[in-house]
Amino acid sequence: MIVSVVSMPGGITTRTSLSETRARLAVSDFLLADVQLSDEPAADEQEVVGLLGLEAESPPWFGRPGVPARAEFHGDRAGFVVPVVQEGHFVHVHALVTERHLVTLHRGPAEPLEGLIARLGLESPPDTVAVLFLLLQEALETFRRAAVAHLLEVEDLEDEIFEQRRPQQVYRLARLRRRAALLHHFLLPYLQATDEVIARRMLSRDFPEERQRLAREFQHVGRLVLADIESLQEATRRAFASYSSLVAGEQNRVINRLAIVSVVFLPLTFLTGYFGMNFTYLTDEMESRTVFWLLAVGLQAAVLLLALYVLHRTRVWRSLRDDEGVQDR
């Protein structure tokens, strides 16, 4: 377990114990306390909440594993479960904010908190609520970076599909589409919950103008990030449509070749079937070798040449050859 305490103003970060953190939370007026639990559940989060002395301030779900994204406002404090994209995985950061301190709790490292602590050394937020909005925007930034990276991957994959189609590309597209769906699945409920809380707070007359500005800015960034994720979903659908159109085009070329073969051999099949019937005229009158060569062979050769001439005049061969050239490139 790693406990980091950031004293404001100044953004001085120190590593300390839970007992020392509890003491500082009781006396400090502006403090950020970040508790990083180990990846393996060595201690229950509820025990950590008790050791920090936050039972009365925190909502009942604070620190519990498996809690989905949510946002709740309770008088002079608010609780959040913030989804974060961390190295391809989704992590939930629990945040409790009051007028005096901001406490975060999570398992394993959390990139937004590392970025937030680094920003606190350069910026001077006026209160804990401003620090909270910085944290929320850092969390949104992880979704935006993931969406942009996946969008570039989809575009590169679409270029590869047009250059040379391979079955492995379908698996990669399916994985990216699943990834886009997960990003949308984790972010949308979180934005809906935060929008609901912010809308209720903005109705209050005691909500300061500066905090309203921070809230509107967060909502604007959230909509932009959600639009990036929806663009990623649309790009994956477009890439699947491109792949399907290429497969359909190849199937059409195969059908065209089969149609050409049918055009060539259908008259020949008719002739062989007709002269193979045991009519009296065919068996009694067409007995010479000359009649055989003229009708059985010459007529079929004439029909074949006529079919090839018609195909050549209608430029069917050229169109098929051009399609094959485009496919090879």
pLDDT in tens, 8-20: 666 677 788 788 8
In whole angstroms, what is the distance from residue 124 CA to residue 130 CA?
9
Residue 314: burial class (beta carbons within 10 Å; 0-12, 13-18, 19+): exposed
State which of 56-60, 129-133, 245-249 shows the largest mean pLDDT. 129-133
In whole angstroms, what is the distance from residue 181 CA to residue 170 CA?
16
Mean pLDDT, the chain, whole residue set: 81
Quick one: pLDDT band at residue 51, thresholds 50, 70, 90? Answer: confident
**pLDDT, average across residues 1-5:** 76
CB atoms within 10 A of CB 162: 12
In whole angstroms, what is the distance from residue 192 CA to residue 195 CA?
5
Quick one: pLDDT band at residue 220, thresholds 50, 70, 90? Answer: very high
In whole angstroms, what is the distance from residue 288 CA to residue 304 CA?
24
149, 141, 67, 153: which is closest to 111 by C-alpha?
141
Q: What percent of the chain has pLDDT over 90?
A: 22
Q: Tell me which residue has tokens 């910085």.
A: 134
186, 194, 183, 202: which is closest to 220 by C-alpha?
194
The answer to whether residues 194 and 79 touch, using CB atoms and an 8 Å cutoff, is no
Residue 253: burial class (beta carbons within 10 Å; 0-12, 13-18, 19+): middle
142 versus 109: the higher-pLDDT residue is: 142
